[in-house]
Structure 1
Amino acid sequence: MSDQRPLRFALYEQASVGCGGAPSLWTHPSDDRLGVNSLDRWRSTAIVAEQANLEAMFFADVLGLYDIYRGSASAAVEWAVEAPANDPFVYVAALSALTERLAFVVTASTTYEHPFSLARRFATLDHLSKGRIGWNIVTSYLESAARNFGLDAMLDPQDRYRRADEFMEVVYKLLEGSWADDAVVADRERRVYADGGRVRPVDHAGQDFRVAGPAVTSPSPQRTPVLFQAGWSPRGQQFAAAHAEVVLLPKKDPTEIRRGLDNIRQLAQAAGRAPEDLKSMALARVITAPTASLAQAKYDDLQANYHLEAQLVSYAGDTGIDLSRYADDEPLTTQSQGLSSYVQKSGAGQAPLTARDLRERFARVTRGSDLLFIGTPDDIADQMRDHASASGLDGYMLNPLTSPGTLEDFAEQVVPALAARGLYDTDPKNGTLRSRLRDDRSDRLPSASAAGSYRFS
């Protein structure tokens, strides 16, 4: 029996054909992602996730096509790299009605949304799902998205995060501060739905937003959806420390993860938050089979259906670096300080990477930087236990290599092995998403959170 608490698990998804870190694997004969437009396909996935007692289904999202590789979006469309990008809010509205316990996390951008309309949408979903909603807060990174919203270029990171901070302030004012807890009376005899004196405008006037308020939705079970955030830059960690309840990490090295989480929690504590109020999950891939040799054979089968060019399209969109323009021996360069990790080798001297280095790194279905657990179910349970212990993580978000195979293998084979070690909570999930994540089982953000000072007193 492990002395660790049970780990938390969720499923990473995108409302697209090419999902996650190996976007070409929709071409695998067993993959069902060509059914992206079918509600039946998504209902089946959600039911498996719910029956496995996962915490949530997490929907990543983009608002533009990857158009850096070879100078256009043609390759992204051909390989379905995070395309087509359907609206996850619509999926979640349907799926929350088809499930009872599974929670849903929706990605929404503080750069291209408006806080009033987004707060309204989240409050409505929170009502309809009985509090099973989270928000993955992003500032967005694609130049194509900026052009889709009428901008000539993407805002620089500092402006995006400044806007995001104000965006959060407006959302808190609307969802936490414009309706008192006792505002809704719902009294037929008196013909009073809500006490007008307990609903107030927010009258926000800032650099990016002017919002009169109040919110046009009544208080939902959680008020504010559970806040997820994945930024890992110094500014991203500051934002997480101020707002995040769950930090999502696309990282592998346990020492790097622990160092970053310690820094975020220290920043949160300095802001008056309790460090334990921040949970963490890492993006992970799982390949399992009854024997190690069968697991390796499954990996080899995935490799046989993997295509390098699709990954290079994704890399170009993520970084702005188009490897199609580089000869093998040519060193990569970038003027962006934030992308320095993409073009430098680790170790003494920090020599620039060459295009050949990157092509070799991406030649395998799971890159060296990806967190991969491979082996028998017992092997994977032990690997997860040891990695979580070393990194300080609270859990993992499963990034499926094939659908529904990755999820089904995890549910049928790995969950029992984790449960046998005390690392998986097999009890059906109850209550709001926030109450499941918090030690005090509260549906609401704590008073010491960034939202607390905006509450109706």
Structure 2
Amino acid sequence: MSDPKPLLFALYEQASVGCGGAPSLWTHPADERLRINTLGYWTDLARSAEQANLDMLFFADVLGLYDVYGGSHEAALKWAVEAPANDPLLHLPALAAVTERLAFGVTISTTYEHPFSHARRLSTLDHLSNGRVGWNVVTSYLSSAARNFGLDEMIRHGDRYARAEEFLDVVYKLWEGSWADDALVADKHGQTYARGDRVRPIEHHGEHYRVQGAHLCAPSPQRTPVLIQAGWSERGRAFAAKHAELIFIAKSRPEEIRAGLEDIWAQAQARGRAQDDIKSLTVLRIVTARTAIEAQKKYDQLQSNYHLQAQLVSYAGDTGIDLDRYADNEPLTTETQGLTSYVMRPDGSGQPLTAGDVRKRFAQVTRGTDLILVGTPEQVADRIEEHARLSGTSGYMLNPLVSPGTFDDFAELVIPELQKRGLYRTQAQSGTFRSRLRADRSDRLPQSAYGASFRFE
């Protein structure tokens, strides 16, 4: 039997007070999220993540307030549900400056950004971080975001993905196809910085974008940042199979995760990609202490600071469905432009949840479909080991219930137990983010990647 392979581990964050899965827990006495407007909060967190040899600090983001529940943003602001939403991209240069190895993932929407300016920002960040950047490619799901960018309503799900496909084509042309590998000379004696004949405009003329180019930045260490993707719908999986190098999975049942991954792997292999080119991170929440009794007490305290309404506000924003208007026995509509996978029953029946199913699911500290582990470090490590074996996931995205206490507990108690089992690396990583994910240690997209087809040879 071969030795176990270390899993990947990342920390999920948002530049907001109410972060992700249990947004009302900023009211917990030990939580420090009210400091999110201070740089010290984030630099302390980044240093701790690097000291723990974490693979990535990941930032989610939204571009509108959660105003579906009750037809108003009032409940979202009361509970700080993914609000306020500061711009996470502005955090990253500061955090890269106080770390040397930690990689960063940042969420940026293809629906509301322009590919030319986006490509320049991420190339700049890839330079400043020495290649430690990943881009979480999203199409956005909030109707409030659409209105913030001048639209009367949200672009339909399929149309958002069509727009995203063209967006990716444009940035691939800029990152991979505008500057040849031998374009940069940087020769003081020869008085030549770059060869103009080896830098070309991209001349993109598409349905959604017209971009002349050339790319304004010299090639960065990775050229294309590591591509992260979280869509789990049929269209999302197809997009992942074509583009993604790292998939973010908000599911808990290992059989459902494995089935989804096998579908993505099969589609990717049909495109000529290797299965190992696509890694995955499953959302994980933990409550741990040195004894099971202490861990349960911690969980009970979380529950006493947890508020169902805040969670329903979050669910309503994610799905576009206002549960405040549904009786418990009513099935939810599937005619939504939000996150459709959150509406369906997890048993594969193709039937929607009822409002009562959702209220019951969120009655306790859990995001319903995500994985939450409560117990001693040994018990948590047992569950992680078994879940990874059954699901096929490459690793886990730790979603903090209390910040920074959840991560501190993970680093102090769980990491040593995982290291004993060979499931957490003991040596610090080096090199670009992509090189750490790939067996060949390459900084660049592999030749089999769709984006590589745009290279300037």
The two structures share one fold, judged by TM-score above 0.5: yes
Structure 1 residue identity aligned to 2:183: A
Aligned to 2:16: 16
Aligned to 1:435: 435
Assess if the C-alpha contact under 8 Å between 2:22 and 2:367 holds in 1.
Answer: no
Q: Give the superposition deviation at 1:188.
A: 1.2
How far apart, in 2, do the equivalents of 1:296 and 1:37 lie? 32
> How do residues 177-326 of structure 1 correspond to structure 2 at under 5 angstroms?
177-326=177-326
Structure 1 residue identity aligned to 2:168: M
Aligned to 2:53: 53
- CA deviations on 1:330-378 (whole Å, 9 max, x unpaired) are 4433434987765565669877644333222211011442201221111
Q: Secondary structure at the match of 1:372?
A: strand
Assess if the C-alpha contact under 8 Å between 1:2 and 1:423 holds in 2.
Answer: no
How far apart, in 1, do the equivalents of 2:321 and 2:158 lie? 21
Q: Secondary structure at the match of 1:451?
A: helix
Comparing 359-368 with 151-160, greater Cα deviation is found at 359-368
Q: Secondary structure at the match of 1:444?
A: coil
Q: 1:38 to 1:259 in 2, by over 3 A?
A: same
Aligned to 1:393: 393
- CA deviations on 1:195-244 (whole Å, 9 max, x unpaired) are 11111111111111111111000000000000000000011000000000
Give 5+ residue unaligned stretches, structure 1. none
Assess if the C-alpha contact under 8 Å between 1:17 and 1:84 holds in 2.
Answer: yes
Q: Percent identity?
A: 65
Q: Give the superposition deviation at 1:453.
A: 1.1
Q: Give the superposition deviation at 1:397.
A: 0.5
Q: Secondary structure at the match of 1:302?
A: helix
How far apart, in 2, do the equivalents of 1:205 and 1:235 lie? 24
Aligned to 1:448: 448
Aligned to 2:84: 84
- CA deviations on 1:116-171 (whole Å, 9 max, x unpaired) are 10000000000000000000000000000001111111111111111111111111
Assess if the C-alpha contact under 8 Å between 2:320 and 2:337 holds in 1.
Answer: no
How far apart, in 2, do the equivalents of 1:175 and 1:338 lie? 30
Assess if the C-alpha contact under 8 Å between 2:141 and 2:339 holds in 1.
Answer: no
The alignment yields a C-alpha RMSD, in angstroms, of: 1.7
Assess if the C-alpha contact under 8 Å between 2:334 and 2:352 holds in 1.
Answer: no
Q: Secondary structure at the match of 2:450?
A: coil
TM (norm. structure 1) is 0.97
Assess if the C-alpha contact under 8 Å between 1:2 and 1:421 holds in 2.
Answer: no
Assess if the C-alpha contact under 8 Å between 2:318 and 2:338 holds in 1.
Answer: no
Structure 2 residue identity aligned to 1:441: R
How far apart, in 2, do the equivalents of 1:264 and 1:435 lie? 22
Give 5+ residue unaligned stretches, structure 2. none
Aligned to 1:412: 412
- CA deviations on 1:20-77 (whole Å, 9 max, x unpaired) are 1100000001001011100000011111110000011000000000001111111111
Structure 1 residue identity aligned to 2:162: R
How far apart, in 2, do the equivalents of 1:348 and 1:258 lie? 13
> Does 2:357 align with 1:360?
no
Q: 1:354 to 1:229 in 2, by over 3 A?
A: closer
How far apart, in 1, do the equivalents of 2:349 and 2:148 lie? 40
